[in-house]
Structures are given as C-alpha cells and as structure tokens.
Structure 1
Amino acid sequence: MMKIAIGSDHVGIEMKPQIIEFLTELGHEVTDFGPDSSERTDYPIYGKKVAEEVAAGNFDKGILICGTGVGISISANKVKGIRAIVCSEPYSAKLSRMHNNTNILAFGSRVIGIELAKMIVTEWLTAEFEGGRHANRIKMISEIENN
C-alpha cells in the first residue's frame, strides 16, 4: 500500500494513535514523527517534519493533526512541493486529491471526531489525481511556488 508520515501537536496527540491504528489496519506503513507526549508543543515543528519527509519522496503521503488542522497545514504548505489540505468533511478531501493532487491531509481533533476522521482519511487515500486540465493548474501552482 502506501508509506504515510504522521505528526501532530499536543492537542492532536490523543487522536493520532487511533489514526495510526486505522491506517495500519488498512495495510499502510505508518511512521510517527511526534510528538510522543501530551506536553505542550508547537505545531510548526511537526508540520515541517512531515512535510519535509513527503517532499523528499521518503513517504507517499502525510497526515497532520492539531486542534483545528489549520496551523499545522499552513506550516506544511511552507515546504516546497507540499500541497496540504485541511478538511472537516470527506467530499473536500476526495476532491483535493482528484483536482489538486494534495499530498498532505490535516484535520482538527477539536473539530471532528474519530469516526469522521476515518471517513475523511479513507476518501482522501482512495481518490486518485485526475490529471488532464488539473495537471496544468498544479503546474501553475508550482510556478508560483518557484518564483
């Protein structure tokens, strides 16, 4: 299946093991980039770690969890080559893969529950990039990133 990097902050730490277990049950190889305690920490540390690993090609995809998913996804998107999406429902997760070829999914443990998180992850992982007219838009995004 896929190699998936995962990270969180202290707020997402309770949901993270449940997502790791879910991904493992689906047959994916998962590596946790921290943190490993509920001690207060800063989400940019883990957003950057996961994003760098995905951008380097060491992992197929990444998943990030913080309180809302917003801050950690913004951090990840600062890494060249990353297209992170924060999602609170499955439809946007699916279309983000199909149209935007997102490579990192983020969500908030204070926003959604574990069952909805699993639905979002499933839709995101099973959707495939459609290419075509969308490939040109990804190229345009990369050009913005490179300038």
Structure 2
Amino acid sequence: MSIIYIASDHGGFNLKTFLVQYLKDKGHDVHDLGPSDPASCDYPLKAQAVTDALLKDENALGVLVCGTGIGMSMAANRVPGIRAALCTTEFHASYARAHNNANVICLGERVTGQGLAASMVDVFLSTAFEGGRHLRRINLFNK
C-alpha cells in the first residue's frame, strides 16, 4: 500500500476528511496534515506541508484538496521536485502518473463528488510511471 500525505484548506475540508477515511480503510498509510476543522485557513501553507513531507519521503504521494484544486496545484508546483496535477477525470489521474510522474494529485471539493474523487485517487495511486521519453521530458522542467 502507499504512503500518502494529504491536506486541504477550508474549501476542501469535507472531501479531504472523506478521502482520509477512504484511504485508511483501503490499508494505505495516510498522514493527515490538516486542517483538523473547517475554519478558514491559507491553502499555500497546507500545500507546503505536503510538499515538504514529499521531499523528505520520495516513495510517498500527496493529495491536496481545495475548493477547485487550482490554488493547491499552483502552490504545490512552485516547489522544485513537485509535480502536482489538477485532475477532474480518471484519465487525467492515470496520465498524470504514467506520463508526468506526478507525485501530487489536486482535487476540488466544489467541483468533484466523493465517488469520482475516490476513483481518481485509486487510479492515481495504482498507475506506474512509464519512464522512457516521458522521463526525458520531465527532466526538461528545470532547464
């Protein structure tokens, strides 16, 4: 099973709470980095908590949730070594891993239901990076 670091802001709190339990029930090692309640909070700080954890644990993956997923993806992608993908379909989740070796999936509670979110996270966690030409392209990110 996977090691997963997960966080949200207030706009993604309910979906994050659902996903934490869903992933734990599936046997994953889930680290909930907050928040612990739906009070207003700043998404860049929550994205930073997950990205910091991932940079220390390269075998882990991250899940970030805000209202739309846009803010979290923008904040996470500012960190070198992080490849965060805003996903709205299982196809996005699959190709984010297979072709882009994404290490964070970003979701939006206000645009994605629990069932679809769970399905996308399952696909994200179970899809392997294909490497090859895709690795060459990822290496160009920091040029």
Match of 1:92 in 2: 92
2:61 corresponds to: 61
User: What is residue 109 of structure 1 aligned with on the other side?
Assistant: 109
CA contact (8 A) 1:5 1:59 kept: no
Distance 2:52 2:79 in 1: 7
- 8 Å Cα contact 2:2/2:125 also seen in 1: no
TM-score (norm 1): 0.93
SS class of match (1:73): helix
- The runs of 4+ residues in structure 1 deviating greater than 4 Å are none
Report the equivalent of 1:21: 21
Residue correspondences, number: 143
* CA positional deviation for 1:59: 5.7
The answer on 1:34 being equivalent to 2:2 is no
Q: Secondary structure at the match of 2:12?
A: coil
In 2, the alpha carbon distance for the partners of 1:30 and 1:46 equals: 15
Which string of whole-angstrom CA distances, capped at 9 and with x for unpartnered residues, describes residues 23-48 of structure 1?
11221100111111111111101011
Give the counterpart letter for 1:123 in structure 2: V
Tell me if structure 2 keeps the 8 A contact 1:10–1:40.
yes
- TM-score in terms of structure 2 length: 0.96
- In structure 1, runs of 5+ residues without a counterpart are none
Shift of 1:21: 1.2
CA positional deviation for 1:58: 6.3
Q: SS of 2:115's equivalent?
A: helix
**Aligned-residue RMSD, C-alpha:** 1.1
Q: Deviations over 1:30-74 (max 9, x none)?
A: 011111111111110101110111122266100000000010111
Gaps spanning 5+ residues in structure 2: where?
none
Q: Say if 1:76 and 1:82, in contact at 8 Å, map to a contact too.
A: yes
